[in-house]
Amino acid sequence: MKTRIVIIIILLLILGVLLTRNDERITDTLLNVINPIKQKYKALTQEIEDKGHSYLFQKESIEKLSKENRILRKRLLEQTHYIRQVKDIYSVLPRLSKMPVENVSLTNTISYVKLNSFSQIILTKPKGVKEKHLYGLIQNSVAAGIATVHNNQLYGYLTSDKKCRFAVFIGKGRAPGIALGLSKNIMIVKFIPKWHKIKKGDKVVTSGLDNIFFADIPVGVVTKVDIQSAYKVAYIKTYADIFHPKVFFLVNNASATLTEGFDANTTNIPICRPVPVAPTVDANLSIETNTTVEQNITDSSISSIPTRIDQTQAETVEPDLPVEHTVEPKPKPHKKKRRPKRPVSQPLDLF
């Protein structure tokens, strides 16, 4: 019995020494072993908690779900109307690429990277994430940090960490800058041009220009503005709750995919042309000539029918093609040269 206790103590001492050496290979190996156990334990506890809530708090959960259902129905109607409008756009501009569905993934927090640091976390890795790529983390519709894959683990750096950085816009004038994590609930925005007027209380949102976040996601509020060398610097108070990092939305692709690869010069939009007026046919023509003329008229009228008919076709009037009337300059009349008048010879009066 004593030998077993001694062996366990020795193993714990060896493990403690290895962990304090900060060797990346050892820590990565331990994380690869411990993280799957943590995930299974967390899933089991979450399932037990959900079942407990479903049995003990049925009335509250039913009221809450019914309220959420009404809100979601309202949003569904709005989205249905929006989808119909987008379909009309695709029918007019078929070269627009479709919006991918797998733009956002759900990820859960497994644990903190270090016990004494609340700014770095380890997340569950969704399918399709790649190494050497930055992903945006959204918590309750606000920007919460960035994530990247390292040694087959998805690490998250919250807005309080120095490794967290992304592009933002500040205020109504949308002054550009780069937000960097500074400390608890505080970020610093650098490289703001001096000519932009920013003040305390301006709202900060993501710009989407760095392909990490979508555009116009709230980040925080400006609390202080300074000037450093050739740029302005703003300190902001962030909206994200870094002390309760439970569930995040992972932005897989933040690029504007609706118009990706779209070339307006190659888009063929059908143009409605006016139907040509049928020429007058002389009654003295033969039957064969009449049939050929009628056939030409029908062919020309059928070819001029537009391939697209809008819902407002009855009210739309297609303008006639402009015809340039060239006015030929009138020739200037040649002025006749007047001959000089001969002097009239007067008779000589001799008397």
Query: Does residue 322 fall inside a structural domain?
Result: no
Query: Does residue 123 fall inside a structural domain?
Result: yes
Residue 201 belongs to what domain range? 97-260
Kind of pairing, strands 104-112 and 135-139?
Answer: unpaired
Domain count, the chain: 1
Query: Does residue 119 fall inside a structural domain?
Result: yes
CATH number at residue 242: 2.40.10.350
Class of residue 25 by CB neighbours under 10 A (exposed 0-12, middle 13-18, buried 19+): exposed
Could you give the CA distance from residue 133 to residue 212 in angstroms, rounded to a whole number? 9
Look up residue 232 and give its amino acid: K
Query: Does residue 130 fall inside a structural domain?
Result: yes
Q: What is the pLDDT along the chain (351 residues), one digit of tens a residue?
A: 677 787 878 877 776 666 666 666 766 777 777 777 877 887 888 888 777 766 767 777 788 888 888 888 888 888 887 777 777 777 777 666 655 556 888 899 998 888 888 899 999 998 889 888 999 999 988 999 999 998 889 999 999 999 999 999 999 999 999 999 998 889 999 999 999 999 999 999 999 899 999 889 999 999 999 998 889 999 999 999 988 898 999 998 887 666 555 555 655 544 444 444 444 444 444 434 444 444 443 444 434 434 443 333 333 334 444 444 455 555 555 555 566 555 555 554 444
Q: Interhelix angle for 24-56 vs 2-20, to 10°?
A: 110
Query: Does residue 325 fall inside a structural domain?
Result: no
> Is the CB of residue 76 less than 8 Å from the CB of residue 92?
no
> Is the CB of residue 204 less than 8 Å from the CB of residue 215?
no
Query: Does residue 176 fall inside a structural domain?
Result: yes
